[in-house]
């Protein structure tokens, strides 16, 4: 149950007085429906209005607050000319300039003969001091309405900064202080304000330094969010480890048979990773391990050998993929080796239906299937294993903690869980997102891979690129053409892809195929199969080919509006080519006009193919805020953390979380009680439920 002190934090924005319906909807869209969403919407800038010169001293270009007496109004002589108001103090004159202004409104705001405080940017124009559209014009007795330090928030259309500031102020005034959940020593040492004080300091700053990530209030809030996450992860980890005491030790005969059939030797990194996994299987603790390895680094064979070891020990294995295409591909790549070694493999997806499905479920329940490959259909209620011992989850980040728990529920006694991800993540973030897991990295690529020739080309050369593809295709090449992300709307993504498909078809004839996320399974399979077999040579797609798809003959990757993609995603897309023996290329089509950061990011793509390096650079270039296109990748979102600046806090939070779980695993102490508030506040309360369930 959510602690009572948090009720106000979770209260609906609707409960704020003086916010109309339209503004409420805009606030909801921008930040979220609850007060805490508003409070966690932190300012990203600050306008300092404390500079209060006399008119004659006011530096041109500065933001100043002036105390003036209004002298006279000069209404606009024509529609296009501005309305001017003259004002002065004892040192000189200033002209206030308004375009498209309503005369009656201005008369009311600036009555002749009255004193007003005006704040805005000072300009010098033809030897005159002027201010165009002052940000504030208030009477001296309303000085409170003029924020001397004005915070600036990220805004969205239809919402003014003024409304947002007001809503946040009111929200701040109505929420209670919460119990301190951090270790007192840390709070004292770093001079952190309390949680509520920190929020107030950030939203109502008394100095410009609070904008710096190093400010104690900012660090404290980041530490709060990080500790909530790390604590939830530590609880899951503790829970998993406690539950189990099973040793999976095989005699190696299946692994040996598989190795006999492999046409290559494992790389050093593959061997080391496999060794770490086997050690986990053989120990009496539950495995919770993540294998990180770039696209094409050879994770599948490692997974296969790990499953063979588990089958040797007499248990069943599940291999989960995020999509049906990937599940089938896994099945295709492991089946020959698995069957050569005598293991029984089957596929279960959402499309396995009717009699075939019930027969398969019976076989799984009877223990007649050793390896069940599939999508999340595997973790549906009625799938029963005879004895599930090892679950491998490909593209781990797409499966949340919830799914991980559902899977764990399928096992009679705990389960060894192995995640695999090709989404390269900087080391600091690995801790943040997978803090509950041990990590093995495969950085070394299998021998013989050729570098992909990557070019960044402006979109106004699209016709040349298309013509080039036409020539390459006529010479027998196969190409992917990925269409841009449009504001996270699938509908628009689809429209863009269909348009490109039509225009390429016109240019290249019937050898063009289209695949997108809205297609049904069989339809998708047909298109993919045609491309795989070479019946089509250009595959236009939305980002559905993102993960895993393996067509070694494809050597060209075109990505339209590459600047809109996260680097991690570009990297994964590029990984689709360069898999065969022929030389491959990747063309990043960018908008004609792009900013400096976008330019730098695309340059990183051009300069390196090391996914981990790309991830680190992406983090560095983008700094805080959204990481690695979290929205698309399915990684958890962080609102208060600046990952470039708060890296040291991540490790602190992780260590603290592990210590807490060791000392007070049920969060029963006073601090534990406070920590429950933290978990609920940041909605990491799966952990609390888990503690209660067992």
CA dist 396 and 487 (Å) reads 25
Task: Single out the segment in contact with ligand ADP by CB under 6 A; choices: 73-81, 265-273, 277-285, 460-468.
Answer: 265-273
Indicate the residue among 18 and 447 with the shorter CB distance to ligand ADP: 447
- Identify the residue among 345, 372, 422, 497 touching ligand ADP (CB under 6 A): 422
Structure tokens at 655: 């260590």
Smallest separation (angstroms) from ligand ADP to the CB of 580: 9
Structure tokens at 640: 């208060």
| In the complex, least distance from residue 430 CB atom to ligand ADP, rounded to whole angstroms | 17
Does residue 293 belong to the site contacting ligand ADP (CB under 6 A)? Answer: yes
Stretch that binds ligand ADP, among 54-62, 142-150, 294-302, 353-361 (CB under 6 A): 294-302
Compute the distance between CA of residue 172 and CA of residue 200 in angstroms, rounded to an integer: 7
Per-residue contact flags (x/-) with ligand ADP for residues 210 to 249, judged by CB under 6 A: ----------------------------------------
Query: Interacting stretch for ligand ADP, rule CB under 6 A, among 22-30, 266-274, 345-353, 667-675?
Result: 266-274
> Hey, what are 299's tokens?
């994770």
**Residue 572 CB, nearest distance to ligand ADP (Å)?**
9
Cα–chain center distance at 195: 25
Residue number, 42 or 258, with CB nearest to ligand ADP? 258
* Shorter beta-carbon distance to ligand ADP: residue 447 or 694: 447
For residues 290 and 176, give the distance between their C-alpha atoms in angstroms, rounded to a whole number.
40
Give CA 190 to chain center in angstroms.
Answer: 29
- Provide the token pair at 360: 């398969």
Please state, as a whole number, how many other Cβ atoms lie within 10 Å of the Cβ of residue 203.
21
Residue 419 binds ligand ADP (CB under 6 A) = no
H or E element in which residue 514 lies: strand 512-515
C-beta separation of 248 from 308 below 8 A? no
State the nearest-atom distance from the C-beta of 264 to ligand ADP, in Å.
Answer: 4
Q: Which is nearer to ligand ADP, 468 or 580 (CB)?
A: 580
Determine which residue in the list 43, 296, 470, 578 makes contact with ligand ADP, applying CB under 6 A. 296
Q: Could you say which of 43, 120, 298, 624 contacts ligand ADP (CB under 6 A)?
A: 298
Shortest Å, Cβ 165 to ligand ADP: 48
Binding mask 442-481 for ligand ADP (x = CB under 6 A): ----xx----------------------------------
| Distance in angstroms (rounded) separating the CA atoms of residues 67 and 140 | 8
Task: Yes or no: say if 477 and 585 are a contact pair by the CB < 8 Å rule.
Answer: no
What's the min distance (Å) between Cβ of 607 and ligand ADP? 22
Shortest CB 594 distance to ligand ADP, Å: 30
**Tokens 């799966």 sit on residue:** 686
For position 297 contacting ligand ADP by CB under 6 A, the verdict is yes
Considering only residues 240, 273, 300, 423, which one is a binding residue for ligand ADP as defined by CB under 6 A? 300
Paired tokens of 368: 């007649």
Among 264, 387, 409, 669, which residue interacts with ligand ADP (rule: CB under 6 A)? Answer: 264
- The region of 89-97, 259-267, 337-345, 683-691 touching ligand ADP under the rule CB under 6 A is 259-267
DSSP assignment letter at 561: T
* Residue among 371 and 679 whose Cβ is closer to ligand ADP: 371
Q: How far is CA 42 from CA 18, 46, 193, in A?
A: 22, 11, 16
- Minimum distance between the CB of residue 327 and ligand ADP, rounded to whole angstroms? 13
- Beta partners for residue 117, in sequence order: 67, 138
Cα separation of 546 and 648, whole Å?
32
Beta-strand relationship, 92-98 and 83-89: antiparallel
Which region, judged by CB under 6 A, interacts with ligand ADP, from 181-189, 293-301, 528-536, 620-628? 293-301
Asked if residue 301 binds ligand ADP (CB under 6 A), the reply is: yes
Q: Which C-beta is closer to ligand ADP: that of 513 or that of 611?
A: 611
Closest CB 389 distance from ligand ADP, rounded Å: 22
Is residue 125 close enough to count as binding ligand ADP by CB under 6 A? no
Per CB under 6 A, does 636 bind ligand ADP? no
Q: Determine the number of helices (DSSP H) and then strands (DSSP E) in the chain.
A: 25, 22
Q: Which two tokens stand for residue 670?
A: 């006073």
Closer to ligand ADP at the Cβ: 447 or 522? 447
The residue assigned the tokens 């375009």 is 99
Q: Which of 222, 295, 369, 573 binds ligand ADP (CB under 6 A)?
A: 295
CB of 267 to ligand ADP, least distance (A): 5
C-alpha distances out from residue 412 to 260, 278, 283, 662, Å: 33, 21, 18, 25
- The residue range among 47-55, 263-271, 318-326, 344-352 that interacts with ligand ADP, by the rule CB under 6 A, is 263-271
- Contact status, residue 420 vs residue 303, Cβ threshold 8 Å: yes
Q: What is the spatial distance between Cα 223 and Cα 182, in angstroms, rounded to a whole number?
A: 9
Q: Which two tokens stand for residue 107?
A: 């008369």
| CB-side neighbour CA atoms (13 Å) of 34 | 13
Task: Spell out the residues 6+ positions from residue 669 whose beta carbon is closer than 8 angstroms to its own.
Answer: 663
Integer Cα distance of 314 and 620 in angstroms: 47
Q: If binding is defined by CB under 6 A, does position 260 make contact with ligand ADP?
A: no
266 touching ligand ADP, by CB under 6 A = yes
Q: Which of 299, 410, 478, 571 binds ligand ADP (CB under 6 A)?
A: 299
Number of neighbours of residue 331 by Cβ within 10 angstroms? 19
- Chain residue whose CB lies nearest ligand ADP: 298
Residue 344 CB, nearest approach to ligand ADP (Å)? 21
416 backbone dihedrals φ, ψ, rounded to 5°: -90, 125
Size of the residue set binding ligand ADP (CB under 6 A): 16
Structure tokens at 116: 């007003």
Cβ distance to ligand ADP smaller for residue 357 or 449 = 449
Residue with tokens 């196969």: 478
The residues binding ligand ADP (CB under 6 A) are 264-267, 270, 293, 295-301, 422, 446-447
């Amino acid at each position: 149950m959510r602690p009572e002190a948090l009720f106000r934090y979770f209260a609906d924005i609707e409960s704020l007085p003086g916010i109309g319906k339209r503004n409420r909807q805009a606030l909801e869209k921008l930040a979220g429906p609850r007060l805490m969403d508003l409070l966690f919407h932190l300012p990203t800038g600050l306008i300092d209005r404390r500079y209060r010169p006399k008119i004659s001293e006011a530096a041109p270009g500065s933001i100043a607050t002036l105390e003036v007496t209004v002298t006279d109004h000069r209404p606009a002589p024509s529609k296009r000319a501005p309305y001017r108001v003259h004002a002065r103090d004892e040192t000189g004159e200033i002209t206030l300039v308004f375009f498209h202004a309503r005369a009656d409104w201005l008369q009311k705001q600036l009555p002749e003969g009255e004193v007003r405080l005006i704040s805005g940017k000072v300009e010098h124009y033809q030897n005159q001091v002027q201010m165009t559209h002052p940000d504030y014009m208030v009477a001296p007795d309303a000085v409170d309405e003029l924020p001397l330090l004005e915070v600036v928030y990220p805004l969205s259309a239809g919402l003014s900064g003024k409304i947002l500031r007001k809503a946040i102020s009111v929200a701040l005034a109505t929420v209670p202080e919460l119990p301190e959940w951090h270790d007192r020593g840390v709070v004292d040492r770093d001079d952190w304000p309390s949680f509520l004080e920190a929020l107030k300091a950030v939203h109502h700053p008394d100095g410009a330094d609070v904008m710096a990530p190093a400010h104690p209030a900012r660090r404290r809030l980041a530490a709060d969010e990080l500790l909530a996450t790390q604590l939830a992860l530590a609880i899951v980890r503790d829970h998993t480890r406690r539950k189990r005491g099973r040793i999976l030790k095989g005699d190696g005969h299946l692994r040996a048979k598989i190795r006999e059939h492999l046409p290559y030797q494992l790389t050093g990194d593959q061997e080391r990773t496999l060794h770490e996994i086997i050690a986990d299987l053989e120990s009496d603790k539950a495995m919770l391990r993540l294998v990180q390895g770039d696209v094409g680094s050879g994770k599948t064979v490692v997974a296969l050998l790990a499953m063979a070891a588990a089958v040797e020990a007499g248990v069943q294995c599940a291999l989960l993929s995020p999509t049906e295409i990937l599940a089938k591909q896994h099945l295709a790549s492991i089946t020959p080796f698995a069957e050569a070694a005598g293991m029984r493999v089957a596929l279960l997806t959402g499309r396995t239906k009717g009699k075939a499905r019930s027969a398969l479920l019976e076989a799984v329940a009877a223990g007649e299937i050793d390896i069940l490959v599939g999508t999340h259909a595997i973790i549906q209620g009625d799938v029963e294993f005879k004895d599930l011992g090892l679950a491998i989850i490909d593209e781990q980040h797409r499966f949340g903690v919830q799914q991980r728990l559902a899977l764990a529920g399928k096992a009679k006694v705990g389960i060894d869980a192995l995640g695999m991800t090709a989404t390269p993540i900087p080391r600091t973030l690995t801790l943040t997102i997978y803090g509950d897991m041990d990590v093995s990295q495969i950085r070394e690529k299998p021998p013989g891979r050729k570098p992909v020739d990557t070019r960044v080309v402006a979109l106004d050369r699209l016709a040349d690129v298309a013509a080039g593809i036409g020539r390459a295709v006529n010479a027998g090449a196969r190409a992917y053409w990925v269409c841009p992300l449009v504001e996270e709307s699938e509908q628009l993504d689809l429209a863009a892809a269909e348009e490109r498909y039509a225009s390429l078809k016109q240019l290249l004839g019937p050898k063009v195929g289209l695949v997108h996320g809205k297609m049904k399974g069989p339809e998708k399979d047909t298109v993919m199969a045609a491309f795989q077999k070479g019946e089509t040579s250009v595959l236009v797609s939305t980002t559905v080919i993102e993960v895993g798809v393996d067509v070694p003959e494809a050597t060209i990757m075109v990505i339209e509006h590459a600047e809109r993609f996260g680097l991690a995603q570009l990297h994964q897309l590029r990984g689709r080519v360069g898999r065969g023996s022929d030389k491959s290329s990747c063309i990043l089509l960018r908008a004609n006009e792009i900013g400096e950061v976008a330019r730098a990011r695309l340059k990183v793509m051009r300069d390196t193919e090391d996914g981990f390096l790309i991830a680190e650079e992406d983090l560095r270039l983008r700094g805080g805020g959204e990481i690695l296109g979290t929205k698309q990748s399915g990684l958890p979102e962080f609102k208060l953390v600046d990952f470039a600046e708060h890296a040291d806090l991540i490790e602190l939070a992780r260590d603290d979380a592990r210590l807490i779980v060791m000392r007070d695993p049920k969060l029963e102490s006073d601090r534990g009680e406070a920590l429950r508030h933290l978990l609920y506040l940041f909605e990491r309360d799966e952990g609390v439920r888990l503690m209660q369930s067992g």
